[in-house]
A and B are shown apart, each in its own frame.
Chain A
Amino acid sequence: MTDINSKIPEGPLAEKWKNYKAHQKLVNPANKRHLDVIVVGTGLAGASAAATLAEQGFNVLDFCIQDSPRRAHSIAAQGGINAAKNYQNDGDSVYRLFYDTIKGGDYRAREANVYRLAEVSSNIIDQCVAQGVPFAREYGGLLDNRSFGGVQVSRTFYARGQTGQQLLLGAYSALSRQIGKGKVKMYTRHEMVDLVIVDGRARGIITRNLITGKLERYAAHAVVLATGGYVNTFFLSTNAMASNGSAAWQCFKKGAYFANPCMVQIHPTCIPVHGDFQSKLTLMSESLRNDGRIWVPKKLEDAKALQAGTKKGKDIPEEDRDYYLERRYPAFGNLVPRDVASRAAKERCDAGFGVNNTGLAVFLDFNEAIQRMGKEAVTQKYGNLFDMYQEITDENPYETPMMIYPALHYSMGGLWVDYELETSIPGLFAIGECNFSDHGANRLGASALMQGLADGYFVLPYTIQNYLSDQIQVPRFKTDAPEFAEAEKSIQARINKLMGIQGKESVDSIHKKLGHIMWEYIGMARDAEGLKKAIEELKALKKEFWTNVHIPGKGDDQNIELEKALRLADFIEIGSLMAHDALDRAESCGGHFRTEHQTEEGEALRHDDKFMYVSCWEYKGEDEDPVMNKEMLNYQFVVPMTRNYKK
């Protein structure tokens, strides 16, 4: 087993980042312009990093798969962004944000990283306001806040129900400014298909031009991955259609550790599944839980009537409703963290109390809020979400309660990074959702935007210089080096192989099968037997894919099916790694729930004596099982406790 060094600076928690910055190596302005950095991705992390690195003077090459950097999936985040500003005078502080995040993550995140995140959170809000992000304001002209799950203060800044959009457009505008100045060279509709390593360091990438189908080579002094998460492994998720884990997976196959792959988040408030043709699940913002009340009927016969369609939610009298979150968790009520809310919904539905035709839905009811605040105030706060719900379901949430069910949403796991956000491959960095670092086993609401922007604006632009400072003597790389040729040759062979299969099944139909295996065995509740079964079924599915997938068209041309097939080949392997990780972690924590490990009340049961570590998986070859290394988590400042949202 390799000894894993996370390079956490010495000193008291609150001094670590300051000390790091005071003593790190920097690159002087004259040298910066001789250094090139590749950034893959233009979401909150990628766009903010690319813009900031270019402002500092580095030459940046930025890549995205969409037709414009403005379309990265960060744009779909609705609810808000956390920051320890304490503008509401409700007792918030950097320490409290740090503590809430550590606790929310079920004590499986790194203390030093999380503290730094909380520390820079305030700078993010300042930065975004300076860029012209139109956050919600009070009549006095100051910024408004709301509260989110798992916390007892109001620290979430928001821009209607479109906070992700506004923050991303802010980062996009900063990025656009640098593109206009020529400091960032932007490549849209380019997908990274391999990482190039020269003498043990990340030195470039191979991309596939999604319009011409041609493979292209790009070199730089360092590579930054900001390619998001991998929950589309499940086929149905709240991610965008093209969101994928392939770039990170290529890095894993080239030697980067993949950390905590089993830790994915299932978001409690999504519109329920309604048919086989369905392509994605739509999230309804967590902010709805501020005023909406979640319930199912108390009586089984009422649930049966709802499932049969003979009764509607509003027909069930108040005294026959079970507001189960308020019942089980009086202190936090409807605002418990996402993992807790999701499992509670599953528990009720498994017991037969589901409220739609599939029995897999619970009510989110605004009746009480409308009476308390008035319909106008509710519209003001949530109008766009209500409209969206009505368009999708053809039901009016002002009159009948919404129906929701948990869905895959976010991956806490990802590429392993140290305190400097560098992976185990020198010169390869990972930021935003594609790394594993800050959320432990469960991410709190409004923390993804915070982490993406913290990494991109305020952390990576510092830490990467510690690496680049000894690269100033290294001349620009040529892409005709043998390492580039070899990487291109192997991806070309992979494409040829895929195109040569000419089987009978479409990519999507195999992806749906993958989704079923994932949801059944590696979803909200997992057990050893099921996970072992999943590993076997995934092996069979991998074989099925590589012998029977059908891809029309040509490999060296625009080919939307080939794009999906390349991603699916990796999703199947990611699924398998998730199963291995979930099997190893014989405890329940955050989003990872092993049914063998729960309290008598059905709450998650951690085993801190055995599992206080980050699992860092190492690739060992095509048909070999991956090997796990451990980064032990030494909590020096916080005492891990059982999470309690009851009192």
Chain B
Amino acid sequence: MDKNINITLKVWRQRGPKEKGKFETYQLKNVFQGASFLEMLDILNEQLINEGKDPVVFDHDCREGICGMCSLYVNGHPHGPATGATTCQLYMRRFHDGETITIEPWRSAGFPIIRDLMVDRSAYDKIIQAGGFVSVNTGGVPDANAIPIPKKNADLAMDAAACIGCGACAAACKNGSAMLFVSAKVSQLALLPQGRVEASRRAKAMLAKMDELGFGNCTNTRACEAECPKKISVSNIARLNREFISAKLKD
């Protein structure tokens, strides 16, 4: 049964990208365990505002685990201790009375800190802009049922397409690699006949952009897969590598 708990928070506070940050400690009393983690941060902010202090800045929006806006390292894990869930879908029943919870922003070269727990993830958009699409314009496309697609492929594509672009994979990776993110998009489109046409070009362009933006490479530690809130599989990385190698061989 959910009850009320008292917790101690150690929260990373940093005014701006270039300023020095530090942990601040806050006490929160009587937090209902049915509250979500972000609702707990709302309670903290309400408390800080009432004390005349600046609230903690963090990214969040849909609060139902799909927009990919929320982030946070909670007790050393991207999106906290729950598996297959974003921070907004993390509930306080995962924590016990008297616990100290450490909250940090994503720490990755690819995601500079903006303020407090908010980071700049525009690098992921740039990777998609480099090739994460099928080059079709609106209109003039064939009927949706013109090309049958095996259910298995459609399902695998959907598994990969479930990526929410939150950045947990790069944040979890000791190399700061965005391979899981890149591979999810490359796989989704390469598995479908519509995206197959430019699969090689896409893989090369997206990987080149990833390297250019300062993300590291993959050394198969699988931390990304373990921390991914959407359980995107590293088999997508294998698929990306095959795609990339065959593209290089054709060059």
Contact = CB atoms under 8 A, between A and B. Distances in A.
A141 B144 contact: no
Interface of B: 2, 32, 34-36, 38-39, 42-43, 46, 49-50, 52-55, 57, 59-69, 82, 84-85, 89, 91, 93, 114-115, 120-122, 124-125, 128-139, 141-145, 148-151, 154-155, 157-158, 161-162, 164-165, 188-189, 192, 194-195
A130 B141 contact: yes
Interface centre among A85, A174, A457 (most CB of B within 10 A): A174
Contacts of B43: 277
Contacts of A93: none
Contacts of A176: 125, 128-129, 132-133
Given A85-B144, A130-B194, A275-B34, A280 B130 contact: no
Contacts of A126: 141-144
Nearest to B127: A176
A135 B45 CA distance: 41
A172 B67 CA distance: 13
Interface of A: 48, 51-52, 55, 66-73, 75-76, 85, 87, 123, 125-143, 159-160, 162, 164-166, 169, 172-174, 176-177, 179-180, 186, 188, 211, 240-242, 274-275, 277-280, 282-283, 387-388, 391-392, 394, 457-458, 461, 506, 508-509, 550, 552-553, 558, 560-561
Contacts of A133: 161
A73 B69 CA distance: 11
B195 A561 contact: no
B40 to A, nearest CB: 8
Contact of B138 (A51, A142, A211, A282): A51
Given A75-B67, A188-B122, A274 B144 contact: no
Contacts of A277: 32, 35, 39, 42-43
Contacts of A173: 128, 132-134
B138 A127 contact: yes
B68 to A, nearest CB: 6
A558 B122 CA distance: 18
Given A73-B62, A179-B129, A461-B138, A552 B151 contact: no
A622 to B, nearest CB: 28
B138 A137 contact: no
29 contacts: A48-B138, A52-B137, A71-B69, A73-B61, A125-B144, A126-B144, A129-B141, A130-B134, A130-B194, A131-B133, A131-B134, A134-B161, A134-B188, A134-B192, A136-B158, A141-B148, A142-B148, A174-B133, A176-B133, A180-B129, A240-B63, A275-B32, A277-B32, A277-B42, A388-B89, A394-B2, A550-B49, A552-B49, A552-B54
| A-B complex: 4 closest residue pairs judged by Cβ atoms | A141-B148, A173-B133, A130-B141, A180-B129
Nearest to A211: B114
A66 B69 contact: yes
Given A123-B139, A129-B144, A136-B154, 4 more contacts: A73-B62, A131-B194, A141-B150, A277-B39
Nearest to A508: B46
B32 to A, nearest CB: 6
Interface centre among A73, A130, A131, A166 (most CB of B within 10 A): A130
Contacts of B134: 130-132, 173
A392 B145 CA distance: 38
A173 B138 CA distance: 12
A136 B36 CA distance: 31
A134 B34 CA distance: 35
Contact of B49 (A279, A458, A561): A561
Contacts of A211: 114
B64 A388 contact: yes
A76 B66 contact: yes
Contacts of B67: 66, 71-73, 75-76, 240
A387 B149 CA distance: 28
A274 B114 contact: no
Given A68-B165, A169-B161, A391-B82, A177 B194 contact: no
Given A76-B67, A141-B151, A552-B55, A70 B46 contact: no
A553 B54 contact: yes
Contacts of B194: 129-132
Nearest to B50: A506
Contacts of A138: 151
A140 B120 CA distance: 44
Contacts of A240: 61-63, 67
Contacts of A391: 82, 85, 89, 91
Given A274-B34, A279-B63, A392-B91, A68 B121 contact: yes
Contacts of A283: 64
Nearest to A387: B84
B53 A552 contact: yes
Contacts of B149: 137, 141
Contacts of A142: 145, 148
Contacts of B115: 558
Contacts of A72: 67
Contacts of A172: 128
Given A132-B192, A275-B34, A70 B142 contact: no
A568 to B, nearest CB: 14
Contact of B66 (A67, A75, A179): A75
A164 B149 CA distance: 21
A125 B141 CA distance: 10
Nearest to B71: A67
A61 B150 CA distance: 39
Given A140-B148, A279-B42, A132 B189 contact: yes
A180 B157 CA distance: 24
Nearest to A144: B151
A166 B161 contact: yes
Contacts of A508: 42, 46
A169 B132 CA distance: 10
A461 B129 CA distance: 22
Contacts of B133: 131-132, 173-174, 176-177
Given A75-B67, A552-B49, A87 B145 contact: yes
Contact of B165 (A70, A166, A558): A70
Nearest to B156: A134
B69 A67 contact: yes
